[in-house]
Chains A and B, each alone.
Chain A
């Protein structure tokens, strides 16, 4: 069956107890056991619960995984993956990564004696050069944030595996309807399911899915032991959101491309970073891995200073000024003053976080309405 059909039906089998067409929300924290020392399918909700298990099956199927685990947030999922490793191990991560992952690696993992270094993920040669004998995990994003770089996942998987390391891919910007990292050789795919999978800005959730059942069991052991599991209400909302994932992504990718093309021709826009544009440095690779859907995140630079850029971001009517992404509501942000405000001038220059950079998450609104909204904001900032 095709992706969209599976997104609706796998993990959503009619409830055997009632015939309900939608997975019931099981709030029970504990379950009656068949006998002392005899365990039923579910025992205690941290170890597993029917609603969470349902959405985990849905996601595992969509990612082509042996198993998937649902966490209370994306960071909880990433943290679980890092807890596979021990003191003395080395984690090699891409440069173009989410700030929260950067913080976890440099300020939390280092406490347990895990060594961390970064290399540009869109250049497999540099990943190869940064590998160390003790590298146990390579961690990259399938679409980098905020510069939208696209790594060569198969090449990096080969490098990681040759060095005895796992490849983990944070594919939050590219949900399984457009890219499936496990099929390209990754061992673990991680999602902040808060974004496209949930899709409605109303539940925090994280996912780890693996190709290998043994690795899944190892991660499950860590999850069960540390406890950052997804609640039943969120599991329900996540599964509900996934039913329209394919439809939403198709529409949002189409709108993002249209907006990117419009921005590229705007006299006040100096640069557009969107993998769907021929001008993007990783366009060919993006096409190879994602076909004709390039995600719905894009960044652009305007012909203005820090303040004017800020005015653009604050003047939109449909785009909400907020961090996060991936939902039906479009969002706008200025990385220099928001997500990357803590970077010093040198770090900003190094990672391409310029004062005039604007990042948008294209939602489900009509693209013509979104274009009109950006246009009026640019005019309002005195840039027309």
Chain B
């Protein structure tokens, strides 16, 4: 019965060829196809359709010669869990393809990722320039901790490339921005950002957590490093912490080595959940984008809303640049309640029944919070003003629930 021309997809023996699907090595396939299949071996051990969770902390060598072959890089394999494991490799390949990057390195959290990169790239005497709307914990790490190692951080106004240019000197090693920023959703002109970096011979880093590769792929603009808190849209289910740095193989070699020393690695269980979450990445993002846009439009029309920050709205200062460069604008919306103090604003949040009150974003469940209370409660009034954190500000992270349900819920909460 067997025909010689039949492609044998099901041998009895264990597959030895663990090559990933070559047709999915780039964006030639649709984004949903990429989300489901990219980075995974075409044939997996036991011919299982999904990857197994490999919890092994160490990996055995058949003989001394095998160790030598591994050291001499004749064999690509695992050694010890802190240097990587099979579940992590699959996810790293998938994330790299999604972001049009050569390489991706996964960490135990978003912050572990940025710290891992900065520690690998910077030495005492070096300087960095960072836009001031970056995630407050990244700014805190740069100003409070990198300074302890003799690294100088300059903060300049978000989107002010002239100020950034001025802050660069011969010791500057890295330009850092988020796009869109949190919670003001400012979108950076990546062409200008990259042009500045290239003309001054300084590397560039973008925190694209809020955008995701569904909406923009900064690597395609020439950005050197892309950073995501994969806890958010990539994982997508509010049930894992992870961070990722994407870039070229050459630039990331030392970064990976340092991770092996510092140990901010993720776990096989989390890596499996991340891989599983990524399968519906394109699907979920389309819905987050739609919810974000429609709810932002609803809020902008509402009489109790003073202002809405959402790049998909014409009223947002970044609208033109966002429209030109992004496929959609994500699920995060920030808005100000008209004539409300922080307690009246909190009452609206407390009156919501679908979005849950919690920090974070990017999961299927909608979340809502007041930045003043959640992240800036300990800051002085002056500092809050400096960071643009208003008392009457609400940040909503739209999940993938039905838009009508979320709007109905906000409507009733705003009438409280």
Contact = CB atoms under 8 A, between A and B. Distances in A.
B237 to A, nearest CB: 6
Contact of A9 (B29, B49, B365): B365
Interface string A252-273: 0000000000000000000000
Nearest to B366: A8
A205 interface: no
Most chain B CB neighbours (cut-off 10 Å) among A237, A310, A318, A328 = A328
B36 A365 contact: yes
Interface in B296-316: none
Contacts of A317: 21, 23
Given A247-B283, A321-B10, A1 B405 contact: yes
Contacts of B237: 22, 240, 243
Interface stretch (B75-83, B101-109, B356-364): B356-364
B259 interface: no
A339 interface: no
B50 A244 contact: no
Contacts of B23: 317
A329 B7 contact: no
A200 B367 contact: no
Nearest to B276: A200
A311 B6 contact: yes
A2 interface: yes
Interface stretch (B129-137, B343-351, B394-402): B394-402
A1 B402 CA distance: 9
B248 interface: no
Interface in A174-222: 200-202
Interface in B264-301: 276, 279-280, 282-284, 287
A366 interface: yes
Given A9-B365, A369-B29, A329 B283 contact: no
B29 A8 contact: no
A156 interface: no
A364 B405 contact: no
A69 to B, nearest CB: 24
B33 interface: yes
A128 B358 CA distance: 56
Q: Which range holds the interface residue count of chain A?
A: 35 or more
Given A1-B405, A201-B49, A314 B8 contact: yes
B154 interface: no
B37 interface: yes
Q: Which range holds the interface residue count of chain B?
A: 35 or more
Nearest to B287: A247
A1 to B, nearest CB: 5
A14 B237 CA distance: 14
Interface string B229-242: 00000000111000
Contacts of B3: 307, 310-311
B280 A247 contact: yes
Contacts of A311: 3, 5-6
B31 to A, nearest CB: 7
A364 B34 CA distance: 10
Given A21-B365, A322-B49, A14 B401 contact: no
A8 B10 contact: no
Nearest to B30: A366
Contacts of A227: none
B324 interface: no
A310 B6 contact: yes
Given A311-B3, A314-B9, A244 B30 contact: no
B33 A365 contact: yes
A240 B30 CA distance: 24
B32 A366 contact: yes
B364 A8 contact: yes
B341 interface: no
Interface string A311-337: 100110110111010011101000000
B254 interface: no
Contacts of A314: 6-10
Contact of A21 (B5, B7, B356, B404): B356
Given A21-B365, A321-B9, A365-B32, A328 B279 contact: yes
B400 A2 contact: no
A5 B279 contact: no
Nearest to B48: A201
A363 interface: yes
B13 interface: no
B280 A202 contact: no
Given A247-B283, A365-B33, A369-B30, A4 B402 contact: yes
A202 B367 CA distance: 28
Given A21-B365, A307-B1, A314-B6, A364 B283 contact: yes
Given A9-B401, A240-B237, 15 more contacts: A5-B406, A8-B399, A19-B358, A21-B363, A21-B367, A201-B50, A240-B239, A243-B365, A314-B10, A321-B9, A328-B36, A364-B283, A365-B32, A369-B33, A380-B7
24 contacts: A1-B402, A2-B404, A2-B405, A4-B400, A8-B399, A22-B237, A200-B279, A243-B237, A244-B284, A247-B284, A247-B287, A251-B32, A251-B283, A307-B3, A311-B5, A311-B6, A314-B6, A317-B23, A322-B49, A328-B36, A331-B49, A364-B280, A365-B30, A366-B29
Q: Closest 3 interchain pairs by CB? A: A366-B30, A2-B402, A365-B33
Interface of A: 1-5, 8-9, 12, 14, 19, 21-22, 200-202, 237, 240, 243-244, 247-248, 251, 306-307, 310-311, 314-315, 317-318, 320-322, 324, 327-329, 331, 363-366, 368-369, 380
